[in-house]
Amino acid sequence: MHAITPFAPKNILLMPNAAVPKASLLADRISACLKTHAVEHNVFFYDYENPTQLPHIEGHDLIIVIGGDGTLLRAGHFCAPLDIPLLGVQAGRLSFLVELNEIDLERNLERLLSADYRLERRMMLQAEFLENGDVIQRWDVINEALISRGRDARPIEVRVDLNEGYMMSYIADGLIVATATGSTAYALAAGGPILPPELRNMLVLPIAPHLSIDRAVVLAEGAVVNLRAISDFEVVLSVDGTTPISIGPENSIRVTANKKSLLMARFGEPNYFYRDLAGILQRNPILEMESND
């Protein structure tokens, strides 16, 4: 993919997580800095867990999300369809995706306003929910599409067809189809490999497979993955952690590369991913924060 030229944003939307008090404080700091540089901006406090009002992002050329990785992930679904870049400021716990924290925040904002940063293009997927061959619903996927067992604690069978041909079937608690971005999310917890974010690949990974192949499969960007669940018990589909929907025997899931990409503003050197990854994996930031409560 060709490199994207960074620009000095002129109209910014701040989206702090309304449920995180620290996000509000950081939003005030960012707003004060933007006012100093006479940059037009708006602030929208978004309740990411119980959204009753959606942000109006049209007309903005950059979104600054203040929260954790989950906050940024949800905001990415608003930004990606409009090709609006996203910058994450950490006010939550996990930080695989967010770029900045409160240290040197104003200095990095000045770099942003001077176009002294990189724009990183993250591959997304498209998941389609089919019923008797007809597309009923469609999602943009930043992290993963997940087929899993429902309330019954019993494994399910998931048949995987690749490019119209049979690939394999898994007996497992579920199956993940993830992006490189999603390889550090649920797929990592399920024992999958970590893919550098610039890779444009799909990762197919079973969850707790039973007498089945337990290896992840990495597919090329052009792959067409069709999933069909076979079970006498409840099976559900969830995309990027959204509320699961039930899957019946007449349903299938088709996953392909998305025409759109998630654009993310980055300040670190190109190998930042490996440096940050090592730091995160050497400690559990969630347990670390809980121990300080």
Kindly tell me if the per-residue pLDDT of 259 is higher than 90: yes
Cβ(201)–Cβ(221) below 8 Å: yes
Render the burial of 49-78: b for 16+ CB within 10 Å, e for the rest.
eeeeeebebeebebbbbbbbbbbbbbbbbb
Domain spans in the chain, listed from the N-terminal domain onward: 11-117+267-291, 124-259
Q: So what's the pLDDT on residue 54?
A: 85
Q: Examine the pLDDT at 262 and tell me if it is beyond 60.
A: yes
Beta pairing partners, 87: 64
Most distant CA pair in the chain, distance? 62
The CATH homologous superfamily to which domain 11-117+267-291 belongs is: Probable inorganic polyphosphate/atp-NAD kinase; domain 1 (3.40.50.10330)
Just list the catalytic residues.
69
Architecture of the domain spanning 124-259: Sandwich (2.60)
How far apart are the C-alpha atoms of 252 and 224, rounded to whole Å?
A: 13
Residue 290 has pLDDT above 90, yes or no: no
Let me know: does 230 contact 159? Beta carbons within 8 Å: yes
pLDDT of residue 273: 64
Give Cβ neighbours of residue 12 (< 8 Å, ≥ 6 apart): 34, 39, 40, 41, 42, 60, 61, 62, 63, 64
d(CA 221, CA 19): 37
- Answer whether residue 284 shows pLDDT above 90: no
The structure tokens 């007809």 sit at 134
Amino acid, single-letter form, for residue 279: G
**Residue 293 pLDDT level (bands cut at 50, 70, 90):** very low
At 270, list the tokens: 């190109």
Q: Are 289 and 93 in contact (CB under 8 A)?
A: yes
- Quote the tokens at residue 22: 């620290």
What value does the mean pLDDT of the chain take? Answer: 90
DSSP the chain: ---B-----SEEEEEEBTT-HHHHHHHHHHHHHHHHTT-EEEE--B-SSS-SS----TT-SEEEEEE-HHHHHHHHHHHGGGT--EEEEE-SS--SS--B-STTHHHHHHHHHTT-SEEEEEEEEEEEEEETTEEEEEEEESSEEEEEE-SS---EEEEEEETTEEEEEEEESEEEEE-TGGGGTHHHHTTPPP--TT--EEEEEEES-SSS----EEEETT--EEEEEE-SS-EEEEETTPPPEE--TTEEEEEEEEEEEEEEEE-S-TTHHHHHHHHHHTS-HHHHHHHT-
pTM: 0.89
| pLDDT tens figures, 145-189 | 999 998 888 999 999 999 979 999 999 999 999 999 999 889 999
Whole-number pLDDT of residue 4: 82
Report pLDDT for 271: 64
